[in-house]
Chains A and B, each alone.
Chain A
Amino acid sequence: MPLFKAEKKPPKGPAGRWDVVVGEEMCKACGFCLHICPVDVFAWRKAPNRIGWFPMYTAHEENCIGCMLCYQICPDFCIDVSVKGAA
């Protein structure tokens, strides 16, 4: 069983309750979040950021199931996942 699974699952359960924020100005485009996400939340930007990488952004926040895998695997402290409405 690979770490990065090719197929994405349809979101279920408590999907849509999560606020996913990507710090795009500090993203170095390693792609870990895109590939570890089981439900397809992230996508590539078409324009580079200030440090020259094409960063990730939250394309489908409504899919997020709050598994926190992207938060754990991000090497650049970019991603923050919290419950919507919480400060």
Chain B
Amino acid sequence: MNKLAKKYLRPSQIPTKACHGCGIGMIENWLLQAIDEMGLKQDDVIFGTGIGCVGRQTFATWGGDNFGATHGRALAVATGLKLAQPDKKYLIVVGDGDAASIGTSHLIHAARRNLGVTVICEDNMGYESTGGQFSPTTPAGYVTNSSPYGMVEPGFDPCDVVKAAGATFVAETTATQWHQTVKIVKKALANDGFSFVHVRFPCNENFGAYALGTRDTLKNLEWIYEHTQGRKADGTETDFTWETGIKHDASNSRPEFSKVLRDMNARVRADLAARAGT
């Protein structure tokens, strides 16, 4: 076990519950590096998860306080927690099912309120824990278990949605960009407002097997790398490229939701006390 896993994670949850070659563990390792470089302790961060591959694997791995919400509702639970304990950092690690399909409205409204949490959307381009059905982030045309002739619906980019809804930090990376992801997560945690980081990672057992025709871990991660670079190993262009990097950085430009609500609470109490006095 590496040093950071010993420092921050629960030893009972290792070996991880993920399939071999799954990118969730890599991304969690980079999150730990960002937390460590910021000098945060176990007690400073509350780790929330939802349902699915990401929820199952990251559930109860964090050594400090953590929670597992119902599908898509991690941000609803986090809103309550943030209002009760505004001084903690909140790291909400959800999948594409949680963030981009069943929990989209929670995501949009948390961004609209500028709730002070950091959402890491780990996206494996489908509902892989239930057998590999397509999701709103599956690339158009790719074969999945529920789209045997290719995904007919166009996908959508959750980064654009949360940016339009008012998030103050939006970024996208993939599972082959370790240094970028660590730097971006540090910026996201430093933002006192809603931060959204979208990280794509490979699934070997379902997305790889149906869409790419292989369960070879190396080929699947290489596919992610090629679509990050926009170029294959032989120099030809890929069918599409993900735009990675920081997409919107307006850190600390809007008041944070729990502060706004507490200020209003204090104002109303003062007003009531003044009325009672007269």
A contacts, CB < 8 Å to B: 1-4, 23, 25-26, 28-32, 35, 51, 53, 71-80, 82
Inter-chain contact A78/B233, CB cutoff 8 Å: no
- With known contacts A2-B225, A2-B233, A53–B30 Cβ distance under 8 A: no
**Nearest chain-A residue to B33 (Cβ)?**
A72
Inter-chain contact B20/A3, CB cutoff 8 Å: no
Inter-chain contact B20/A73, CB cutoff 8 Å: no
Would you mind naming 5 contact pairs between A and B with Cβ atoms under 8 Å apart? A72-B29, A74-B25, A75-B21, A76-B16, A82-B3
Inter-chain contact A3/B176, CB cutoff 8 Å: yes
Inter-chain contact A75/B222, CB cutoff 8 Å: no
Contact size range, B: 20 to 34
Q: Mark B199-218 against chain A: 1 for CB-CB distance below 8 A, else 0.
A: 00000000000000000011
Inter-chain contact B20/A28, CB cutoff 8 Å: yes
> Which residues of B in the span 1-39 have a Cβ within 8 Å of any Cβ on A?
1-5, 9, 14-16, 18-26, 29-30
Question: Considering residues B5, B15, B30, B222, which has the most beta carbons from chain A within 10 angstroms of its beta carbon?
Answer: B15
A-chain residues with CB within 8 Å of residue B2 when the two chains form the complex = 23, 71, 74, 77-80
Inter-chain contact A35/B218, CB cutoff 8 Å: yes
B contacts, CB < 8 Å to A: 1-5, 9, 14-16, 18-26, 29-30, 176, 178, 217-218, 221-222, 225, 233
Question: Considering residues B18, B26, B225, which has the most beta carbons from chain A within 10 angstroms of its beta carbon?
Answer: B26
**Nearest chain-B residue to A53 (Cβ)?**
B20
Nearest 9 Cβ contacts at the A-B interface: A75-B25, A30-B21, A28-B20, A77-B5, A26-B15, A2-B233, A3-B225, A72-B178, A80-B2
**Nearest chain-B residue to A21 (Cβ)?**
B2
Q: How far is the CB of A7 from the nearest CB of chain B, in Å?
A: 13
Inter-chain contact B1/A26, CB cutoff 8 Å: yes
- Docked Cα-Cα span, A26 to B1, in Å, equals 8
**Nearest chain-B residue to A51 (Cβ)?**
B15
Inter-chain contact A75/B26, CB cutoff 8 Å: yes
Task: Say whether chain A's binding surface is mostly helix, strand, loop, or mixed.
Answer: loop
Inter-chain contact B178/A26, CB cutoff 8 Å: no
- Docked Cα-Cα span, A32 to B218, in Å, equals 7
A-chain residues with CB within 8 Å of residue B25 when the two chains form the complex = 74-77
Q: How far is the CB of B21 from the nearest CB of chain A, in Å?
A: 4
Q: How far is the CB of A25 from the nearest CB of chain B, in Å?
A: 8
Inter-chain contact B26/A72, CB cutoff 8 Å: yes
A-chain residues with CB within 8 Å of residue B5 when the two chains form the complex = 77
Inter-chain contact B21/A3, CB cutoff 8 Å: no
A31, A72, A77, A82: the one within 8 Å of B217 (CB):
A31
A-chain residues with CB within 8 Å of residue B218 when the two chains form the complex = 4, 31-32, 35
B20, B23, B222: the one within 8 Å of A4 (CB):
B222
Inter-chain contact B178/A73, CB cutoff 8 Å: yes
Q: How far is the CB of B224 from the nearest CB of chain A, in Å?
A: 9
- Docked Cα-Cα span, A26 to B25, in Å, equals 12
B-chain residues with CB within 8 Å of residue A76 when the two chains form the complex = 14-16, 18, 25
B30, B176, B178, B217: the one within 8 Å of A30 (CB):
B217
B1, B176, B225, B233: the one within 8 Å of A77 (CB):
B1
**Nearest chain-A residue to B30 (Cβ)?**
A72
B-chain residues with CB within 8 Å of residue A32 when the two chains form the complex = 21, 217-218, 221
